[in-house]
């Protein structure tokens, strides 16, 4: 019988492109983090499949926006892109969010494609409960 793959903190960090600090101080402190299944050296081991499922649910962005539809900041937040309308406005003022594709009637709106490009590379974290 083949044993399920087990990962330790440095391996998790490398696999998901995060620092060990992020894995131990942010991810592993969450109540819904998978339980340890063993120990290797000074590290606890975690089931690789359980970790992958947790990352899919909590870290990776899975929202698909309609590329040619215009969205307000509030609509982007409601669509579940992982950041609030306030963060969009703050990032825009700091040059970290693109200028709107449309400002008809004084309302800033972005194409779905523009918003998805802006979200590329941003890390998503669901709020802890």
| pLDDT over 90 (residue 119) | no
Count CA within 13 A, CB hemisphere, residue 74.
Answer: 1
**Cα gap 88→74, rounded to integer Å:** 9
Same domain, 81 and 44: no
Same domain, 31 and 51: yes
Which residue did the predictor score with more confidence, 29 or 82?
29
Q: pLDDT grade, residue 124 (50/70/90)?
A: low
Long-range contacts of 121-124 (CB under 8 A, 24+ apart): 122/61, 122/82, 122/83, 123/59, 124/58, 124/59, 124/60, 124/61, 124/82
Q: Can you give the pLDDT at residue 125? A: 52
Q: Can you give the pLDDT at residue 69? A: 95
Number of domains making up the chain: 2
Q: Can you give the pLDDT at residue 4? A: 86
**Cα gap 108→46, rounded to integer Å:** 45
| pLDDT over 50 (residue 26) | yes
pTM over 0.75: no
Q: Can you give the pLDDT at residue 3? A: 82
Find the domain containing 24 and state its range.
Answer: 6-58
């Amino acid at each position: 019988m083949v044993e399920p793959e087990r990962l330790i903190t440095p391996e998790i960090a490398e696999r998901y492109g995060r620092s060990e600090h992020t894995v131990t101080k942010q991810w592993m402190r969450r109540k819904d983090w998978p339980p340890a299944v063993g120990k290797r050296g000074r590290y606890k081991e975690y089931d690789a499949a359980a970790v992958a499922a947790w990352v899919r649910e909590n870290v990776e962005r899975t929202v698909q926006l309609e590329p040619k539809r215009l969205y307000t900041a509030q609509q982007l937040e409601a669509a579940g892109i992982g950041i609030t309308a306030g963060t969009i406005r703050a990032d825009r003022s700091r040059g970290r969010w693109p200028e709107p594709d449309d400002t008809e009637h004084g309302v800033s709106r972005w194409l779905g494609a523009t918003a998805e490009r802006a979200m590329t590379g941003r890390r998503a974290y669901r709020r802890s409960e």
